[in-house]
């Protein structure tokens, strides 16, 4: 029995300090330590071993469960940011729906844009924020929305904001300090929209992808090939993490300088966690934490690997009357749309 307690305690100590290290590491900006952002992906996974350890200690030595309870408290935000445990608004409530959707340039299949347009009609989407929007293939999607903003204006692929409500001001936003592809530097835009409850600035962004593909993970059964592939993937992850940290600094400035309450939507290519997410939570609310409901996971390739993680976020000003957020189950892209609902009749 003593040997068993000693082994469990050793495992528990390792688990405790690993949780602290991953948690603190995920809060380090990626431009300081490229690649550290991957910790925010691993962080929620530690919730389950800590929960198991609590039950074990409560049966054997309850006092030893204290470390695990502390860690569960630290893990609560990252877990709730992925687990839709809330209840949706009542069906008879008058709602305004704002959706964020990476449409993969409509390459999923022929006619994807028209299917998405029909979905917006069925779901009653009032504002649609689109990333990787290929203008030559937009089809009839835009016909449902009389007010439109493209960023950048003169590019074939970029971001777009479609609205049924009036847009009184709009423009493209640039990640000016970012090196690399032109799309990555110009993949953001904003629109000031007059909703029934307030004039709101919607900021729509698409942050740099890791660039890791399935072929990158396929290795030959030799040590040299495995090491080479590992270095290649690690370099991609570190480089994209640094780019997102630079983009994040711009986003924080845009949110802080907005003359109106902000809805920040987009494909962040990282799970809600880490430095940028923590800093944004000082300024904006994440409706998914308390009002998320429905399906899990917004990125299909991760879902297919058994990781139903959300890499698409919509954060909102606490003054706005949001009352729900959910991931819709349509599969017209390699992402699924994230829909945020607002009360059209109530005060915030």
- C-beta of residue 205 within 8 angstroms of C-beta of residue 159: yes
Radius of gyration of the chain measured on its C-alpha atoms: 21
**Phi-psi domain of 271 (left: phi exceeds 0; alpha: psi -120 through 50; beta: other):** beta
* The two structure tokens encoding residue 27: 């809060």
Neighbours of 340 (CB within 10 A): 25
- Between strands 157-163 and 127-134, the pairing is antiparallel
Compute φ and ψ for 23, nearest 5 degrees.
-65, -50
Which residue intervals of the chain bear CATH 3.60.10.10?
95-343
- C-beta of residue 347 within 8 angstroms of C-beta of residue 322: no
Domain 95-343, CATH number (from 3.40.50.1820, 3.30.950.10, 1.10.8.870, 3.60.10.10): 3.60.10.10
Below-50 pLDDT ranges, the chain:
213-219, 226-227, 229-230, 232-233
* The two structure tokens encoding residue 32: 């300081």
Q: What is the pLDDT of residue 217?
A: 40
Whole-model pTM?
0.88
Q: What is the pLDDT of residue 58?
A: 87
Alpha-carbon distance of 234 to 236, in angstroms, equals 5
């Amino acid at each position: 029995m003593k040997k068993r307690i000693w082994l469990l305690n050793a495992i528990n100590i390792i688990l405790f300090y690993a949780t602290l290290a991953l948690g603190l590491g995920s809060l380090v900006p990626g431009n300081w330590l490229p690649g550290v952002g991957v910790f925010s992906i691993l962080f929620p996974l530690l919730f389950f071993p800590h929960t198991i350890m609590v039950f074990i200690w409560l049966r054997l030595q309850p006092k030893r469960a204290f470390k695990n309870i502390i860690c569960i408290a630290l893990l609560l935000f990252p877990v709730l940011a992925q687990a839709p445990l809330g209840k949706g608004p009542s069906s008879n409530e008058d709602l305004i729906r704002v959706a964020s959707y990476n449409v993969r340039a409509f390459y999923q299949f022929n006619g994807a844009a028209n299917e998405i347009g029909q979905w917006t009609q069925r779901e009653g989407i009032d504002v649609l924020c689109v990333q990787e929007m290929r203008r030559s293939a937009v089809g009839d999607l835009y016909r449902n929305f009389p007010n439109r903003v493209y960023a950048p204006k003169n590019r074939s692929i970029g971001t777009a904001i479609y609205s049924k409500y009036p847009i009184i001001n709009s423009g493209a936003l640039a990640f000016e300090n970012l090196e690399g592809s032109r799309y990555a530097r110009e993949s953001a835009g904003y629109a000031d929209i007059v909703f029934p409850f307030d004039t709101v600035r919607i900021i729509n962004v698409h942050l740099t992808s890791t660039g890791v593909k399935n072929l990158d993970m396929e290795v030959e059964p030799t040590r040299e090939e495995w090491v080479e592939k590992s270095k290649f993937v690690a370099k991609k992850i570190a480089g994209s993490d640094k780019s997102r940290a630079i983009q994040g600094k711009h986003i924080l400035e845009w949110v802080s300088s907005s003359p109106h309450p902000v809805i920040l939507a987009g494909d962040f290519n990282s799970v809600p966690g880490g430095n940028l997410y923590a800093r944004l939570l000082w300024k904006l609310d994440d409706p998914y934490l308390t009002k998320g409901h429905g399906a899990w996971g917004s990125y299909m390739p991760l879902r297919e690997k058994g990781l139903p993680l959300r890499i698409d976020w919509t954060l909102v000003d606490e003054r706005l009357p949001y009352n729900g957020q959910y991931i819709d189950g349509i599969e017209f892209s390699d992402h699924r749309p994230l829909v945020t609902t607002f009360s059209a009749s109530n005060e915030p």
